[in-house]
Structure 1
Amino acid sequence: MATFDSDGVSSYLSDSDFEDDYETRKSETDTSAQEARNGKDIQGIPWEGFKYTREEFRETRLKEYDNFVNILTPQSREKLDKEYLQVEKGKSFYDFQFNTRLVTSTIVHFQLRNLVWATSKHDIYLMQNYSVMHWSSLLQRGKEVINVARSVTPTLKLPGLLSEPLFRVQVSSMAVKENLILLGGFNGELLCKCVNQPGIAFSTRLTTEDNAITNTVDLYRSTSGALRFITANNDRKIRIFDAQSFTHVSEFPFDWSVNNTSVSPDGKMLAVLGDSAECLISDSQSGKVISSLEGHKDYSFASAWHPNGLILATGNQDMTCRLWDIRNPSKSFAVLKGNIGAIRGLKFTSDGRFLAMAEPADFVHIFDTQSGFVQSQEIDLFGEIAGISFSPDTEALYVGVADRTYGSLLEYKMRKDNQYMDSFY
């Protein structure tokens, strides 16, 4: 079998693995729930044409997938083995609904995977090369919303506004909320578009440093109720802007590149994660560090707050998600383990019932918070994961798969037999 790397599933599911010519066996682009029930692979991968089964391929991939790490040591890995929460897998909280390759997820940085956003159970935004695509699950149709391959000139002209044209932006980070689309670029760019208005409203370059990737962009409500957006960059800074005037509000420096930041539901605290095993909780107004969260063994790239504001989930290249009660931050209260790689995506449902945890490839885990995170569903697919997103009403979960042949958007629908009770926390 071939060695597995970041080139994608199609790089080793090659033509030579088929008994007949690939083009003569090409399947339909989409897969429905009914087709999946009738035995079709959810991604449309024609396993019957390969020399080995899906199960055999999965077994080999688990053994050979090369998880990228920066500082994790074998000794640290041994210590982690004693911390993992014992999880009961095999639950079914969300059922497969649809897969389309009419829109295909893509990524430009192998460590940044937040490029899929659902604004309703029918409206999804994702990156496809240089385009922001909108997918309507109702119409089963895709449409280009933004193209950043050519020159982008901001439409908003206000006195003192530090906006500037940009060209050929490689999008590394994305957020779609509150009727706004935020994009962060590989060279420190920031772009903002109003969903229902033409053109880019605001665009700028946040920093002129050589290594200036905009690792995270996000929108949130401040303690006063004002809409703000926040960015985290490789220049070791977090920046906050007013989302109405697009003016710079504040800037906080840190000791290492900030790979991810997220704001607590009440707008008071920032989770700050980056090129350090340490994770920080900072005050959103002053940037002052409130708590240091210690336990991870490598660099972190994902975080998510439970809607009650008391629980923070952090994802790390040590293949774990740690769960923290911010009222007692001296030690994580649970450690969730991945199967093959770093935890690069974390999302809670809006009601706090479920936590979705995405690895860099092949696996998305859904944990039931009501059970104390010990009951989980495992979504098993093939390909790099570009992003995950629950719909705001919790009814749907979307998974972007980045692959040269099998790149797609997967839709899962909540099972109607789920019995809701008060959240565990």
Structure 2
Amino acid sequence: MKDDPADDMVGEHHEQGVLDSNPEDGDYWQAVPDPSSAEARKGKDIQGIAWERLAITRENYRLARLEEYKNHENVPNSSEEAIKDCKPTEKGGMYYEFKQNIRSIKSTILHYQLRNLVWATSKHDVYFLSNYSIHHWSALSSVDTELMNVEGHVAPTEKHPGSLLEGFSKVQVSTFAVKDNLLVAGGFQGEIICKHLHREGISFCCRTTYDDNAITNAVEIFNASSGAVHFIASSNDSGVRDYDMERFQLCKHFQFEWPVNHTSLSPDRKVAIIVGDDPNCLLIDAKSGEILHSMKGHRDYSFASAWSPDGLTFATGNQDKTCRIWDVRKLSKPVHVLRGNLGAIRSIRFTSDGRFMSMAEPADFVHVFDVKSDYNRKQELDFFGEISGASFSPDTDALFVGVSDRAYGSLLQFGRL
């Protein structure tokens, strides 16, 4: 991925909001109540956009966005080539129903290629990034709580071997993850900050690397076979590092030939998918780091990956606007190639029961595929604004989508039907 922080800040689509000419952007917009699920069922816009007041219809604005949105490519014309591989998918499925749009939440994005900035740990508990802060939102009580602010100086309040006790200042959070009461945030300079949610203060700080190319691109928290809580950090210095949070130590470090943008462990923790600044994706032995297979098919760089709970299939998301589904029993080619509408596939999630897979584009669209239909049917969530992340709740009852936009930024909540 790009490694110049000046270029990596929120890109051209973030500099201005959607519908910037909208006359509602002032006091009127602030006074409009969040649309209810009942109103949405009657046809009201889920973001509260009053199209009847505007000089353009929703349909025409959608067509304009599809035509004008500039998808970032590292390999020129990659999406034009990749479209030849795609299978047709039947739209119109209804699996998740709109519940609410929380405009008091201002989810933000620091790096335009990294969109893992929304995490649901239950159907009531959601975590999101807002500028220099990571917040918790309770969908039950509608309370927004700041958990970690890294705009100033942050340092660990616990003492552990290998922890940087001096801490960090003004961390630019590029990615984070929350699981098992552990929050792990990664930064632009290789910073790792860990907080146990049931403890006061910061538990652990370290720097993955002092390399100039140090952005932490992704974090995944998991339980080792021993039951201990670990996390894997994928780095722009081409490294993948496994940290043991029981002993607060780095226990594995694998190095690859290109920057690693995302890593996903298989459900049995035996193998992992590695994707990054190369069209090929790697399947590696999670214990040794040995490359078991190189999957060929994508035309550009990949930034997302996810395993199905069945442990046999996994998905990779690429800037060629495709998500490819692979089967470990036959890796010579993908079993499905799924197409986005306007941009790269930057976030992929499966429900815990394996029934659905979400595929988020950089803006405007999250596609929810019915895995049982062999990916032939999907629901298309259609809205406006850059997507900071998408996350199913562990019980599969809820899907949360962060929207980063100057005027229409919010958190969208959907419930399983």
TM band (smaller chain): over 0.9
State the distance in 2 between where 1:100 and 1:229 align.
Answer: 30
Task: Answer yes or no: is the 8 Å Cα contact 1:9–1:382 preserved in 2.
Answer: no
Q: How many residues align?
A: 407
Q: Which among 136, 139, 142 is matched to residue 141 of structure 2?
A: 139
State the distance in 2 between where 1:264 and 1:324 align.
Answer: 13
Task: Give the structure-1-normalised TM-score.
Answer: 0.92
Partner of 1:172: 174
Q: Which among 168, 183, 186 is matched to residue 181 of structure 1?
A: 183
Query: Are positions 1:67 and 2:89 aligned together?
Result: no
Name whichever of 394-403 and 136-145 sits farther off. Answer: 136-145
Task: Answer yes or no: is the 8 Å Cα contact 1:85–1:334 preserved in 2.
Answer: yes
Shift of 1:45: 1.9
State the distance in 1 between where 2:147 and 2:324 align.
Answer: 36
Task: Answer yes or no: is the 8 Å Cα contact 1:282–1:290 preserved in 2.
Answer: yes
State the distance in 2 between where 1:400 and 1:218 align.
Answer: 19
- Amino acid corresponding to residue 45 of structure 1 in structure 2: I
State the distance in 2 between where 1:136 and 1:65 align.
Answer: 33
What whole-Å deviation, never above 9, does each CA across 1:262-294 have from its counterpart, x for those lacking one?
111111111110000010011111111011010
Q: For structure 2, list consecutive stretches of 5 or more residues without a partner in the other structure.
A: 1-10
| Identity between Structure 1 and Structure 2 (%) | 51
Task: Give the structure-2-normalised TM-score.
Answer: 0.94
What whole-Å deviation, never above 9, does each CA across 1:146-195 have from its counterpart, x for those lacking one?
11111111012134545541111111111101110010001111011011
Partner of 2:262: 260
* Inter-CA distance 359–388: structure 2 relative to 1 (3 Å threshold): same
What whole-Å deviation, never above 9, does each CA across 1:185-222 have from its counterpart, x for those lacking one?
01111011011111110011211112210001111122
State the distance in 1 between where 2:16 and 2:26 align.
Answer: 12
Shift of 1:223: 3.4
State the distance in 2 between where 1:85 and 1:364 align.
Answer: 18
State the distance in 1 between where 2:412 and 2:242 align.
Answer: 33
What whole-Å deviation, never above 9, does each CA across 1:359-378 have from its counterpart, x for those lacking one?
00000000001000101000
* Inter-CA distance 164–237: structure 2 relative to 1 (3 Å threshold): farther
Task: Answer yes or no: is the 8 Å Cα contact 2:18–2:407 preserved in 1.
Answer: no
State the distance in 1 between where 2:249 and 2:165 align.
Answer: 10
> What's the C-alpha RMSD, in Å, of the aligned pairs?
1.7
Partner of 1:423: none
What whole-Å deviation, never above 9, does each CA across 1:356-406 have from its counterpart, x for those lacking one?
000000000000010001010000010000000000000000000011111
Task: Answer yes or no: is the 8 Å Cα contact 1:62–1:339 preserved in 2.
Answer: yes
What whole-Å deviation, never above 9, does each CA across 1:15-54 have from its counterpart, x for those lacking one?
4x43x88424544352221232344321122222211111
- Amino acid corresponding to residue 11 of structure 1 in structure 2: G
SS at match of 1:11: coil
Partner of 2:8: none
Q: Which among 13, 19, 31 is matched to residue 13 of structure 1?
A: 19
Q: Please give the residue correspondences for 1:311-322 in structure 2 after superposition, counting only pairs within 5 Å.
A: 311-322=313-324
State the distance in 2 between where 1:12 and 1:192 align.
Answer: 35
Query: Are positions 1:353 and 2:355 aligned together?
Result: yes
Partner of 2:252: 250
Partner of 2:400: 398
Task: Answer yes or no: is the 8 Å Cα contact 1:313–1:346 preserved in 2.
Answer: yes
Task: Answer yes or no: is the 8 Å Cα contact 1:10–1:406 preserved in 2.
Answer: no
Q: For structure 1, list consecutive stretches of 5 or more residues without a partner in the other structure.
A: 416-425
